[in-house]
C-alpha cells in the first residue's frame, strides 16, 4: 500500500502538482486576513490613491487608496466560492434531471429536455445578463444566473450517458429481478454517469469563474466595494494607461486561478478516464 501511494504522485504528476496549487489557493482565500497581514480590503486612505507597486503596497493601490494586494487576496474568496457554487448547483440539478430524463424517457424526458433546450437556445452570457438584470446586481444573483444557463449541459450529458446503458442486459436483468426505480437510479444509472460528469465539472470551474468575472465586469455581479476580480478589472479600466497595475494584478489572479483549475480538471480526467489520454 505504501508503495502504491508513492507511485501515485509519480504517475499522476499533473494532477498532484495542480491539486497542491489549488489547495494553496483555497487556503490563501480562507486565511486571507493572515496573508494580507490584517490589511482591510475595503477601506483606504485617499492620500494613498493610485500608488504604484512598492514596498508599502506591493501591488499598488487603487483610486480610493485601497491596497490591491489585499483586494486580490480577498477577491479569491468571492471568486472561488461563487465558482464552486455555480458548479455545485448546475452539477447537482443537471445530473439529477439528466439521469431521470434518460432513465424514464417518454414524457418526463421530453419536458426536461425541452426545458434544457430553451436555456441552450440563448447565448449563455446574454441570458445570464438578463437573469442577473432581473434579479438585481449581486454576486449570489450572478451565481444563480450562470447556474441557470449551465445546468442543461450537465443534464444533456447525464442523459446521454444513461441512454447509452439503459438497454444493456444487466439493466434489464436488474429490473426483471425486481429492483425499484430509486435503486436503479442510484446504483446503476448514476455510477455509470458520474466519472464523466465529475471530469466535466472539474474542467468547468475555470471557465465558469471567467463567466462570473465577466458578469461582474459588466456590472451584473459583485457590487462595490466587494473585492472581486472582475469588478476590479472594470474599476481599473479608466486608469489603464496611467495606473496599469489596477488591471494587471486582478487579471493575473484570474489567469492563474483559471489555469490551475483547468489543469487540475485535465489531470483528473487522465485518472478517471484514461481512454482520452494524449
Determine the Cα–Cα distance for residues 278 and 65; give it in Å rounded to an integer.
Answer: 48
Residue 178 within binding range of other proteins, rule CB under 8 A: yes
CA distance 209 to 151: 15
**Side-chain-side CA neighbours of residue 82 (13 Å):** 33
Rounded-to-integer distance, Cα 278 and Cα 190, Å: 27
Closest approach, Cβ 195 to other proteins, in A, equals 9
Q: How many residues bind other proteins (CB under 8 A)?
A: 12
Interface residue with other proteins among 6, 13, 168, 237 (CB under 8 A) is 168
Nearest approach in angstroms of CB 187 to other proteins is: 7
Cα 266 to Cα 203: distance, rounded to the nearest angstrom:
7
Distance CA 45, CA 10 (A): 49
**Per CB under 8 A, 151 contacts other proteins:** no
Contact residue for other proteins among 3, 38, 121, 170 (CB under 8 A): 170
Task: Give Cα 234 to chain centroid, integer Å.
Answer: 20
Which residue, 124 or 195, has its beta carbon nearer to other proteins? Answer: 195
Taking CB under 8 A as the rule, does residue 173 contact other proteins?
yes
Q: Which stretch binds other proteins (CB under 8 A): 162-170, 198-206, 211-219, 227-235?
A: 162-170
CA-based Rg of the chain, rounded to a whole angstrom?
Answer: 22
Characterize 8-21 residue by residue with b for buried, 16 or more Cβ atoms within 10 angstroms of its Cβ, and e for exposed.
Answer: eeeeeeebeebbeb
Q: Is 106 in the site for other proteins (CB under 8 A)?
A: no
Binding-site member from 47, 114, 121, 176 for other proteins (CB under 8 A) = 176
174 part of the interface to other proteins, by CB under 8 A: yes
Task: Name residues contacting other proteins, limited to 184-243 (CB under 8 A).
Answer: 187-188, 191-192
All three cell numbers of 126? 446574454
Q: Which three cell numbers stand for residue 133?
A: 438584470
Residue 167 beta carbon to other proteins: minimum distance, rounded to whole angstroms: 10
Residues lying near other proteins in the complex (CB under 8 A) = 168-170, 173-174, 176-178, 187-188, 191-192
Amino acid at each position: 500500500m505504501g508503495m502504491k501511494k508513492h507511485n501515485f504522485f509519480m504517475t499522476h504528476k499533473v494532477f498532484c502538482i495542480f491539486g497542491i496549487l489549488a489547495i494553496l489557493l483555497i487556503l490563501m482565500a480562507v486565511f486571507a486576513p493572515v496573508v494580507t497581514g490584517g490589511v482591510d480590503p475595503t477601506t483606504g486612505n485617499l492620500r494613498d490613491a493610485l500608488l504604484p507597486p512598492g514596498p508599502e503596497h506591493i501591488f499598488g493601490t487603487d483610486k480610493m487608496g485601497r491596497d490591491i494586494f489585499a483586494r486580490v487576496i480577498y477577491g479569491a474568496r468571492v471568486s472561488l466560492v461563487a465558482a464552486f457554487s455555480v458548479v455545485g448547483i448546475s452539477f447537482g440539478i443537471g445530473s439529477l434531471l439528466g439521469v431521470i430524463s434518460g432513465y424514464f424517457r417518454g414524457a418526463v424526458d421530453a419536458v426536461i429536455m425541452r426545458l434544457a433546450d430553451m436555456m441552450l437556445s440563448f447565448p449563455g452570457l446574454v441570458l445570464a445578463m438578463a437573469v442577473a438584470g432581473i434579479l438585481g446586481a449581486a454576486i449570489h444573483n450572478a451565481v444563480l444566473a450562470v447556474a441557470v444557463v449551465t445546468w442543461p449541459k450537465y443534464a444533456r450529458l447525464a442523459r446521454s450517458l444513461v441512454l447509452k446503458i439503459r438497454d444493456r442486459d444487466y439493466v434489464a436483468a436488474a429490473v426483471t429481478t425486481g429492483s425499484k426505480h430509486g435503486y436503479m437510479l442510484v446504483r446503476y444509472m448514476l455510477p455509470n454517469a458520474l466519472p464523466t460528469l465529475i471530469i466535466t465539472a472539474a474542467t468547468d470551474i475555470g471557465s465558469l469563474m471567467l463567466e462570473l468575472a465577466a458578469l461582474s465586469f459588466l456590472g451584473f455581479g459583485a457590487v462595490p466595494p466587494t473585492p472581486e476580480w472582475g469588478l476590479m478589472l472594470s474599476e481599473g479600466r479608466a486608469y489603464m494607461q496611467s495606473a496599469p497595475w489596477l488591471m494587471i494584478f486582478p487579471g493575473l489572479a484570474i489567469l492563474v486561478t483559471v489555469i490551475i483549475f483547468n489543469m487540475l480538471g485535465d489531470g483528473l480526467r487522465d485518472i478517471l478516464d484514461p481512454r482520452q489520454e494524449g
